[in-house]
Amino acid sequence: MGTLAADALDVSTAAQIKTAQPTSADRKPWVLLRGTLEPAIQNERYILTDTTGEILVKIKDDIWRGLLLRSGEEALVEGELEFKGSGAEVNIMYIQRAGSGGDAGVTVSQIKQLPEKSWVVVRGTIVRNIEKDNYLFRDSTGDMVVKIKEHVWRGLPRGTGDPVEIRGDIKWEKKTIAAFVDAGYIGKIQP
């Protein structure tokens, strides 16, 4: 059984993912991978190759967000690890050119200037639960709503005031004309 680096958000390898075991049906591990991508036979499926082997990844068309990679160019991808009948597959939520940065994070005030569907990393605290999946998030520049669905918590305790990192898409609420983050990942960070 492999040990994934997902808790610390270190890069996992294809070999680790191939030997990983499902933890539970409602908790899909979040993984980061670095490697080259080649199209597979199936639609939206790619083979990611790193120094330890190959793994099947699913990248929907809208996830590319205009990124073009040259043949053999490395990519850094992140997403949920799913266990299918044919083995492990990573459902990619974000892709970037390897070595291009992009993980420094943005602030609440910066998010308000970014277009919808931008992938962001924000660091701050959960202040309180507003309703159902909506939480008030705060960083040093302000407050905003983050939507964190049940499966995104992945067993993480839902305390308020703890420093967290949230990764997700920016969405715009049409009624209030306010931006919010639709979380794909949440993790606690060291203060």
34: CATH: 2.40.50.200
Shared-domain flag, residues 92 and 115: no
pLDDT of residue 155: 80
The answer to the question of residue 1 being in a domain is no
Give Cα 43 to chain centroid, integer Å: 21
> In this model, does residue 89 exceed pLDDT 80?
yes
List the domain range (segments joined by +) for residue 139.
Answer: 108-188
How many structural domains is the chain composed of?
2
Shared-domain flag, residues 136 and 72: no
pLDDT of residue 70: 80
Distance CA 142, CA 189 (A): 19
Shared-domain flag, residues 30 and 86: yes
The answer to the question of residue 102 being in a domain is no
Q: Which of 17-21, 95-99, 147-151 has the highest mean pLDDT?
A: 147-151
Shared-domain flag, residues 132 and 180: yes
Among positive and negative, which fits the CA dihedral 3, 148, 77, 8?
negative
> In this model, does residue 140 exceed pLDDT 90?
yes
Domain boundary among 64, 97, 130: 97
Q: What's the whole-model pTM score?
A: 0.71
